[in-house]
């Protein structure tokens, strides 16, 4: 298979977008250089970088390359203490010797790790022991003041183990439309359930797994939670993490409730009501004990900055994770290096090329900060660490653009917007895409919660409007079939596998269109006094509102 040569495709693309914008407010040509983009991605995904695993020699090579390239582009160090980096120390938790059981109606119900239950923790310590902790069914485990919703009411769950449902009430009954119908809100994610329980001082959380609302099967739960868990090092971990994080299979929950004299399905229906109150499981307790091995690794975010000319304290962000999976099990060809060329050498390359274009143009009024995040593949931890310990204040971070696994197969008809409907960046994205003759395509499967699964999310959660938009839909340039075949093959055979490799045949015209969108909107924002906000009803609005005084 052979795609159009990159240079030819780029020339054709540039011509078409120039025509499409004539007469309108034509933005200055960006002059993104496809050859530079391709070369960055080639270098970063070379076998010598060993799949860019965190805490490996591949990390040191990546950090050095990014630092050199940001400097060559004309950016300044944007990290801690005038350096190019921010240290991210991660805890790695491995649970072993798990013993868990329910005591209900005088019976002991043993629970086997990986079968009826998975138990883990992200709280530093050597041993977890919960004995006869009372069990309380807390519905969806959600407190959402802006939606006038509180599953906990005045019930104190300190020291108790709460049993909660995955997703939110609208999943079963979208017409309620309390949580945006079928589009999952952050309240539906398992991460939220654990965080809210920690805020309330619960001793543990048991999430009842059900295939449809989780959007994945029990095997995904056991694969993800039976191995080591990572977390950033937290100053007050006990306030943010519960000692026991667990999931159980639905059948186990139904039986537990029955033995306690309760009807799981009836309670699940009650949980869809605003009036729901937590229900203690009469005479039922949970016991769990396991050993925890906690080790630390230090990895690095790379930050580069172009200070603004007149309002340097106000920041426009561009983000992309540099890390990938590293070296894994050899595939059928004996290749064990997960090169991560598309995921995410492409986005990492995009930031370097964006830096070059920003620095070459007129100095913006506000500052531009590029962050190459670490540890995305371990659970968005580089971005979580930055968002919890920002080098540049979040309250005066105007907006950000995240890039992850970009389109290398040519120009497409649409701009897919993950999390469409959340922020006022939507209208800017639509206008920029229209200049390219493209339409906006909202999230294809919003109920799966994609908005909560990449690096923009830890920032959004703390109120920073973040865009995550990448090309989608049919290809615009012939020949279409080999492009579709290449894109499909990536999803089936290359994504998170050793074959995610660089190719000289990539057509980067589509990636460049997506970068143009982020550049144009960034330029408008960087030379304005605008503060795009969250739309009414977005769960991220309240976090932003709390710092409004900083944006006068
Ligand atoms: Zn990625």
- pLDDT at 444 (0 to 100): 67
The answer, yes or no, to whether residue 328 has pLDDT greater than 90, is no
Comparing 40-54, 64-78, 403-417, 480-494, which segment has the lowest mean pLDDT?
Answer: 480-494
Spatial CB neighbours of 435, under 8 Å, sequence gap ≥ 6: 17, 20, 21, 24, 26, 27, 520
* CB of 408 closer than 8 Å to CB of 506: yes
Nearest to 367 by CA among 428, 404, 312: 312
The answer, yes or no, to whether residue 452 has pLDDT greater than 90, is no
Sign, CA torsion 229/231/234/237: negative
- pLDDT at 447 (0 to 100): 64
| Widest CA span in the chain | 79
Residue 54 CA to ligand 1 center (angstroms) comes to 14
Residue 473 CA to ligand 1 center (angstroms) comes to 20
Considering the chain, what percentage of its residues have pLDDT values greater than 90?
74
Residue 457 CA to ligand 1 center (angstroms) comes to 13
Q: Is 453 helix (H, G, I), strand (E, B) or coil?
A: coil
* CB of 3 closer than 8 Å to CB of 506: yes
Residue 342 CA to ligand 1 center (angstroms) comes to 8
- pLDDT at 24 (0 to 100): 41
Residue 487 CA to ligand 1 center (angstroms) comes to 16
Residue 379 CA to ligand 1 center (angstroms) comes to 11
* CB of 439 closer than 8 Å to CB of 414: yes
Residue 147 CA to ligand 1 center (angstroms) comes to 32
Residue 273 CA to ligand 1 center (angstroms) comes to 37
Compare 185 and 459 and report the one with higher pLDDT: 459
Residue 345 CA to ligand 1 center (angstroms) comes to 9
The pLDDT confidence band at residue 185, using thresholds 50, 70 and 90, is confident
Average pLDDT over residues 317-343: 89
- pLDDT at 478 (0 to 100): 96
**Would strands 469-475 and 412-417 be described as parallel, antiparallel, or unpaired?**
antiparallel
Residue 431 CA to ligand 1 center (angstroms) comes to 26
Residue 383 CA to ligand 1 center (angstroms) comes to 12
392-443 pLDDT tens trace: 999 999 999 999 999 999 999 999 998 899 999 999 999 999 999 999 998 7
| Omega before 479 within 30 of 0, i.e. cis | yes
Residue 343 CA to ligand 1 center (angstroms) comes to 5
Comparing 84-93, 127-136, 455-464, 494-503, which segment has the lowest mean pLDDT?
Answer: 494-503
Q: How far apart are CA 504 and CA 368, in angstroms?
A: 31
Compare 11 and 216 and report the one with higher pLDDT: 216
- pLDDT at 218 (0 to 100): 85
* CB of 109 closer than 8 Å to CB of 286: no
Residue 355 CA to ligand 1 center (angstroms) comes to 20
The pLDDT confidence band at residue 445, using thresholds 50, 70 and 90, is low
Average pLDDT over residues 156-170: 94
**Would strands 229-232 and 85-104 be described as parallel, antiparallel, or unpaired?**
antiparallel
Residue 176 CA to ligand 1 center (angstroms) comes to 34
- pLDDT at 7 (0 to 100): 31
Residue 496 CA to ligand 1 center (angstroms) comes to 9
Length of the chain: 552
The answer, yes or no, to whether residue 149 has pLDDT greater than 50, is yes
Q: How far apart are CA 462 and CA 448, in angstroms?
A: 21
* CB of 522 closer than 8 Å to CB of 26: no
Comparing 41-50, 272-281, 495-504, which segment has the lowest mean pLDDT?
Answer: 495-504
Residue 317 CA to ligand 1 center (angstroms) comes to 18
69-123 pLDDT tens trace: 999 999 999 999 999 999 999 998 989 999 999 999 999 999 999 899 999 999 9
Average pLDDT over residues 475-479: 96
For 504, phi and psi rounded to 5 degrees? -70, -15
For 467, phi and psi rounded to 5 degrees? -105, 140
- pLDDT at 5 (0 to 100): 29
The pLDDT confidence band at residue 9, using thresholds 50, 70 and 90, is very low
- pLDDT at 336 (0 to 100): 87
Average pLDDT over residues 183-205: 90
- pLDDT at 30 (0 to 100): 62
Residue 335 CA to ligand 1 center (angstroms) comes to 20
């Amino acid at each position: 298979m052979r795609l159009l040569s990159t240079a030819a495709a780029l020339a054709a693309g540039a011509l078409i977008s120039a025509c499409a914008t004539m007469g309108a407010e034509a933005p200055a040509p960006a002059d993104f250089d496809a050859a530079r983009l391709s070369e960055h991605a080639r270098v970063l995904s070379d076998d010598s970088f060993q799949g860019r695993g965190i805490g490996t020699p591949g990390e040191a090579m990546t950090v050095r390359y990014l630092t050199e390239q940001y400097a060559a582009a004309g950016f300044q160090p944007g990290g801690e203490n005038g350096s190019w980096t921010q240290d991210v120390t991660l805890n790695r938790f491995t649970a072993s010797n798990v013993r868990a059981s329910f005591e209900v109606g005088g019976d002991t119900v043993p629970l086997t790790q990986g079968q009826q239950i998975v138990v883990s923790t992200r709280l530093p310590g050597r041993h977890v022991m919960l004995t006869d902790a009372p069990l309380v069914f807390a519905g969806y485990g959600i407190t959402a003041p802006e939606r006038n919703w509180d599953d906990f009411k005045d019930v104190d769950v300190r020291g108790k183990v709460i049993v909660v449902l995955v997703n939110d009430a609208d999943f079963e009954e979208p017409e309620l439309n309390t949580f945006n119908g079928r589009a999952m809100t952050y309240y539906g994610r398992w991460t939220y359930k654990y965080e809210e329980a920690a805020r309330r001082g619960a001793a543990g959380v048991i999430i009842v797994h059900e295939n449809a609302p989780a959007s994945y099967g029990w095997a995904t739960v056991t694969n993800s939670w039976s191995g080591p868990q990572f977390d950033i090092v937290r100053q007050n971990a006990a306030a943010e993490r519960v000692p026991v994080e667990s999931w159980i299979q639905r059948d186990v929950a139904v039986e537990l409730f029955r033995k306690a004299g309760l009807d799981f399905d009836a309670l699940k229906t009650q949980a869809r009501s605003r009036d729901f109150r937590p229900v203690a499981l009469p005479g039922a307790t949970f016991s769990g004990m396991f050993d925890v091995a906690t080790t630390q690794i230090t990895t690095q975010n790379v930050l580069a900055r172009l200070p603004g000319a007149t309002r340097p304290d106000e920041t426009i962000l561009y983000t992309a994770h540099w890390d990938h999976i590293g070296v894994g099990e050899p595939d059928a060809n004996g290749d064990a290096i997960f090169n991560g060329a598309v995921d995410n050498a492409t986005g990492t390359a995009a930031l370097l090329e964006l830096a070059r274009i920003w620095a070459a143009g007129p100095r913006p009024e506000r500052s531009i900060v590029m962050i190459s995040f670490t540890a995305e593949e371990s659970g968005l931890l580089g971005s979580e660490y930055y968002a919890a310990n920002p080098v540049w204040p979040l309250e005066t971070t105007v907006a950000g653009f995240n890039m992850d696994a970009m389109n290398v197969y040519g120009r497409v008809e649409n701009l897919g917007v993950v999390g469409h409907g959340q922020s006022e960046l939507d209208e800017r994205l639509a206008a920029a895409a229209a200049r390219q003759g493209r339409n906006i395509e909202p999230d294809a499967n919003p109920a799966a919660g994609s908005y909560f699964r990449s690096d923009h999310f830890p920032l959004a959660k703390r109120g920073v409007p973040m865009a995550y938009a990448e090309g989608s839909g049919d290809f615009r340039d012939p020949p279409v079939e080999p492009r579709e075949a290449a894109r499909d093959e990536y999803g089936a055979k290359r994504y998170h596998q050793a074959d995610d490799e660089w190719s000289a045949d990539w057509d980067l015209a589509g990636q460049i269109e997506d970068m143009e969108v982020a550049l144009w909107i960034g330029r408008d924002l960087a030379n304005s006094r605008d503060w795009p906000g969250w739309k009414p009803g977005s769960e991220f609005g309240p976090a932003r509102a709390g710092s409004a005084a900083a944006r006068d």
